[in-house]
Amino acid sequence: MNLLKSYFLPRLSQWLITILVGVTVTFILPRLLPTDPVERTLSTLSSLQTMDPRAVESLKEALEDLYGLGGSPFEQYINYWKRLIRGDLGPSMSAFPTPVIEIIGAGLPWTVGLLISTIFISWILGIILGTLAGYLPKNLWCQIMDKIFISIYPIPYYILALILVMSFCYHFQVFPLVGGASGKPEISWSYLSSILWHSFLPATSLIVGSTAFRFIMAKALTSTIIASDYVHYAETAGLSRWRIVLFYVIRNTLLPQATDLGLSIGAIFSGTVITEVVFSYPGIGYSLYMGLLQADFNLILGITVFSIVGIATAALLVDLSYPLLDPRVRYK
């Protein structure tokens, strides 16, 4: 009960406040822009054909309702939350009348699949390889890995993505340049293998850079842990190196790396946006990019709000996992 009051409830409150502030900022910022999406749409339509003034006025009212710009700012804010609670993000103006929630639903599985796989693969690889390099600093293979990852770490992920595209899509044409899969969507090995084949390069561009960062972090943490008394005691007791690495070193460096896992979700999302654009991968990052190009007001707002809620929720779940990883949190 004390753990619920002192640990879980404050973090749930922080989660609610984060979403409230994030959604409010998302509501305010577009309304501070000098461009009006309604006027922009009307000017585009009027340039294509001559319209009756009464029809223009009726269309303006309809567009204001679609964009959620009708009434006073306070009324717009209240209606904004009402729509969000109902899951109504409005129609996409670039793909009218398709609802924004359908566009997000179509791109979400691609982005989530790419995110989940790259985050956990890079996290596990970085922890294992970095811990081994820190625990066995004189090992030749550990020294080689150290030099490789230190060289890779400063390279921006989008530069790495462009190098992969130029090398394996243009010059050698080993991997496909665009899309997330080929063939009819179905549960079959041919379709699933095409998903893996299309996602290989985008995933690689994210995994390599993230693994390099976590390798350096895990190595630094391990270098501190191996000087502790309990590690020396385990070595004196004759425990195997693998047992020491797994139960004494990795376990005691896991908490700060779990924190890094939660914080990296937001950074990975921004990286996924650029990666999806580079590889034309059909996720919500690519949809956001197309929405920006076409000034799709509702689509931009919908994806931004969805990312705020998703990142805050993922960070909350990581935060709530601390008592499972470290008994000291439970004791406090």
Beta pairing partners, 91: 99
Element (H, E) at 149: helix 140-152
Domain boundaries, the chain: 19-86, 100-331
- Sign (positive or negative) of CA dihedral 99, 100, 101, 102: positive
Residue-wise pLDDT tens digits, 151-180: 888 877 778 878 888 888 777 777 777 777
Average pLDDT, the chain: 77
Nearest to 80 by CA among 29, 142, 156, 150: 29
Q: What pLDDT sits at residue 303?
A: 82
91: cis peptide before it, omega within 30°?
no
- Please tell me the pTM assigned to this model: 0.74
Rounded CA gap, 258 and 211, in Å?
14
Q: What pLDDT sits at residue 263?
A: 66
Confidence of residue 315 (pLDDT cuts 50, 70, 90): confident
Q: What pLDDT sits at residue 212?
A: 86
Residue-wise pLDDT tens digits, 233-289: 777 877 777 787 777 777 777 777 777 776 666 555 655 777 888 888 888 888 888
CATH class for the region spanning 100-331: mainly alpha
Count of residues in the chain: 332
Q: What pLDDT sits at residue 268?
A: 57
Rounded CA gap, 141 and 165, in Å?
29
Residue-wise pLDDT tens digits, 132-141: 888 888 888 8
* 294-304 mean pLDDT: 78
Q: Which residue has the tokens 């992920």?
A: 157
Both tokens of 295, joined, read 């000034």
